[in-house]
Structure 1
Amino acid sequence: MSDETQWVINTTDATFEQDVLLASQQGLVVVDFWAEWCAPCRTLGPILEGLAEDYQGGFLLVKADTETNQAAAGEFSVSGIPAVFAVLDGEVVDSFQGAMPEPQVRQWINSLLRQRELKAAKEMLETSPDEAEVILRSQWLETPDDAAVAAPLAELLLSQGRTDECVEIIEQLEQRGFLEPEMERVKAAVELGSKADVDVEAARAAAAAAPNDFELQFTLAEALAGSEQYEASFEICLDLVSRDRHKTGEKARALMVDVFRVLPEGSELTSDYRRKLSMLLY
């Protein structure tokens, strides 16, 4: 059994839920499944314990001797030791098996703490946006290609009307030659937002006066999408895809996809019109 400190504790099957699952609601918990007879465990254990002291509360190290934690080891599907699990909010978020050198373990811990900090920043976006921005900007400067950080930062900037700053982030990530889905969603929101000031009634009048002018019909579809009249916009887009598939219809298809991206996940409108669009295309 290891010596206990403020940041290192021993657990048993009887206390495992409280020591690990409940404690992980308050912060990062690292569980080390080990045994006295295991030579690699005796190598890794002191490394983990030393890091727990170094980080001074950055995480709680819970030592789980497999002799007194057989049920917990089974629940975590431990097939060999040492086996180390990171638990946050009652869920295993990462793990590794076998001994690793201290720099590699430290890097693993840093990654987990960064993940925890990012989660906290996302939770603060509405209640404490300034604090969230400080955290997100700090992480983004460290890893400017990480869309998991860039997307919430860009969304925050966009929600505050700081569109130019948001676009800078998008353009920087686009230099890689691709965008992740979460960044495609932000880009779509920027595109739609740029159409919010279009005079819908003027566009409607122009389109009504020239029903066979596909560009004017598309302008109306854009204006409607910019004013969040999505269903009306979709109907015009479908008509354009049907009548002018490879020209204005292609722009209409792309507009629909942009709206699909910004609508809430599981939206019935998305499901309905994605199906209608697919029927026209295929």
Structure 2
Amino acid sequence: MIEITIENFEQEVIAASLSQPVLVDFWAPWCGPCKAIGPILEKLETEYGGAFKLAKINSDEEQQLAGAFGVRSIPTVVLMKNGQPVDGFMGALPEGKVREFLDKHVQALEGDEDEEQEALPEEPAGADPAAQLEKLQHAVATDPANDDSRFDYVKALLLAGREADARRAFEPVANKASLSRRIDALARWLDALSFAAGSPSAADLDAKIAANRRDFQARFDRARLLLAQQRWTAAMDELLEILMRDKAWSEDLARKTYIAILEIIEPPKPKVAEGQVPPEDATVATYRRRLSSVVLS
């Protein structure tokens, strides 16, 4: 069990859930039902032998995180897998019901290993970057007017470090940047890479910011460096520092760049049953709410 704050949320919840289910318990010291279910969750974390990780968030102290998850009452328990919330419940359920909930999503490690191995063969093909790039390249070649396919292809090339290929693939849609948010996002990413190629000094930028916290150009340049390094959340944090002090700085440049990063990092929506709404990526949801709270304040 680990206590979660806004500082360690991304590492201990989002990143951790990529390799292991994370059960997030929103609680508060004054909440009676929280005191009832808390020990049950801790007990089951031990009994399930590491099949899931328990993360506790004090909703009084971490209101930003509670807001990001849309918590309306406590206790609220959310199960995270692959960086996304997949299920949850509210209230102090009895231990048997909590076990039923967990058994839908996790399996105690002392269980049958054959079932786990059956799922493994599917992973290599889906995870092969070369195969994915070939598939995306084929989609663009088949339908050059499909901007969504082109966005996915250029994004994959940039993530793979193939900047020159990405620029060639982007060129046919470069003039659409003012019309499409996704194309604009790619244009800003490529601009950040061009800026970083000029070898600006991060230390100089940090010194300028330390000397004058309202040196928005230095902050924006630092955000561009972070974007070029694919340090998404750090770049958005820097842009938020600008927005908190001047929402419309440089013709909305900070806000537009922030939105571009959200477009870049938002994963494809998973398939769900008809009538259901797919869960939103937790990091995207958190930073979208942070932007709204600053812009609308």
- Pairwise TM-score range, normalised by the shorter structure: 0.3 to 0.5
Please give the TM-score of this superposition, normalised by the length of structure 2.
Answer: 0.42
Please give the TM-score of this superposition, normalised by the length of structure 1.
Answer: 0.44
Higher radius of gyration, 1 or 2 = 1
Q: Taking CA–CA contacts closer than 8 Å with sequence separation of 6 or more, which of the two structures ends up with the larger relative contact order?
A: 2
